Amino acid sequence: MIEELLLGLDSEQPRIRYGAAKALRQCSEQDPAGVYPHFDRFLALMEGDNTFLRWGSERILGNLAAVDRDNKFENVLDRFLAPVSGHEMIGAANVMAAAAQIACAKPHLSDRIARKLLQVSRATYGKPECRNVAIGHALRALDRFFPHLRNKRPALAFARKQLANPRPATRRHAERFLKHWYEISHPR
């Protein structure tokens, strides 16, 4: 079935192409080991021109981290995280969500992932407000794998800075993050 869905990604008909992408994402959630042999195909799609396939591939790759027995993420992590730096906020948001999955599945990569996510405050997207939205996504991602970080201080400092973020939703993410993790990181 996975082979047929992969063929569907090349269809000229958008309905088939996007239906196949959606089904493959579901497969990657339910049976990541069955999709894992096609890791390189999704990495290539992630860097392609079709935004829908790109965003779906980012999420699929995040799902594959749990079964990455060949340690492919170690070699492609910088490529995978590149969208965080900018151009497209939705792509960056998808990568950040997937990066949290990777960090949870591969805790030894957590600090490396966090360093890249913290660079979001210098990212350039279509509009300045997009950066504030992306910062909120970074906070949510960091929240998911914060316990795995060896160096927690930069993430806490990043969250503290966002208490003054002009976007109310991002400020709330920062407040929740700090309320949840500061007491744990700094017991009395």
The predicted-structure confidence for 122-176, as pLDDT tens digits, reads as follows 999 988 899 999 999 999 999 999 999 999 999 999 999 999 999 999 999 999 9
**Could you tell me the pLDDT band of residue 9, with boundaries at 50, 70 and 90?**
very high
Separation CA 20–CA 17 (nearest Å): 5
Summarize pLDDT for 86-123 with one digit per residue, the tens.
Answer: 889 999 999 999 999 999 999 999 999 999 999 999 99
Give the pLDDT of residue 87.
87
Structure-token match 């890791």, residue found? 39
Q: Which residues pair with 124 in a beta bridge?
A: 86
Give the pLDDT of residue 68.
97
Q: Which residues contact 25 (CB under 8 A, 6 or more apart)?
A: 56, 59, 60, 63
Q: Which residues contact 155 (CB under 8 A, 6 or more apart)?
A: 114, 118, 142, 146, 149, 181
Name the phi and psi angles at 7, rounded to 5: -65, -35
Mean pLDDT for the chain? 94
**Could you tell me the pLDDT band of residue 184, with boundaries at 50, 70 and 90?**
low
Alpha carbon 37 to chain centroid distance?
20
For every residue of 148-170, which 3-state class applies, written as one string? HCCCCHHHHHHHHHHHHCCCHHH
Give the pLDDT of residue 14.
93
| CATH ID of 2-150, from 3.20.19.10, 1.10.3720.10, 3.30.300.10, 1.25.10.10 | 1.25.10.10
Give the pLDDT of residue 185.
57
pTM of the model: 0.91
The domain locations on the chain are 2-150
Give the pLDDT of residue 182.
76
